[in-house]
Amino acid sequence: MYRHFITLSAVLLFAGCATHDDEGGMEVSLVNIAGGTGGGLGEAALNCEVRLQNGSPEALTVEGGRHRIYLNGIYIGEGLNNETVEVPRLGTTTQHLTVYLSTLRMAGSMVKIYEEHRADYRLESTLYTRHNGHAHSIKIVRSGTLNMDALAQPMTTQPTLHP
């Protein structure tokens, strides 16, 4: 009986350490797309900006991400980011990534996007995080509508404030 109690206690202890309360956890959304430079024959570069939102009461370190982007139901490409950022508790940050899309695959859809100045998007993201010294991956799928008026304008960065 004593052995069963020790075994049960060990199982409960390890189970408590292995669980992760993800209520109000991470969210990822596509907030901007702008024309980029580069790309080869038959492809174009898009500069994309994604917002990482941490609804947790603890800061979270994101060590990179993989973001598959769909516009109007068509897969346009994947953006990768290997930048390490800390997303503050109950806070947000943005990351920039470049996606190379096939201009042949998107030709018909781009006309519709330019005419309507909006696009429905689906973002399938995997964030690679570190929390309390342990590596995790978080998969997030997000859908929404994006105002495409910015597509004709280059993406700008926020000015840096100096004390």
Residue 122 lies in a domain: yes
Q: Flag whether 17 is in a domain.
A: no
pLDDT given for residue 66 in this prediction: 96
Judge whether 96 and 79 are in contact, CB under 8 Å.
no
Q: Note whether residue 83 is domain-resident.
A: yes
| Region of residue 130 (left: phi > 0; alpha: psi -120 to 50; beta: else) | beta
In tens digits, what is the pLDDT along the chain, a chain of 163 residues? Answer: 444 333 333 333 333 333 344 445 899 999 988 888 777 677 888 899 999 999 999 999 999 999 999 988 888 889 999 999 999 999 999 999 999 887 766 666 666 766 777 888 999 999 999 877 889 999 999 999 887 765 545 555 443 333 3
Which stretch of DSSP H or E encloses residue 113? Answer: helix 103-116
**Would residue 101 count as lying in a domain?**
yes
In the Cβ-directed half-sphere of 45, how many Cα atoms lie within 13 Å? 11
Is 3 part of a structural domain of the chain? no
Burial pattern 145-154, b for ≥16 Cβ within 10 A else e, equals ebebebbeee
Domain-located, residue 161: no
Task: Check which CATH number belongs to the domain holding 80 and give it.
Answer: 2.60.40.1820
Number of helical (H) and strand (E) elements in the chain, helices listed first = 2, 8
The reply to whether 162 falls in a domain is: no
The boundaries of the domain holding residue 41 are: 24-151
Number of domains in the chain: 1
Global pTM reads 0.71
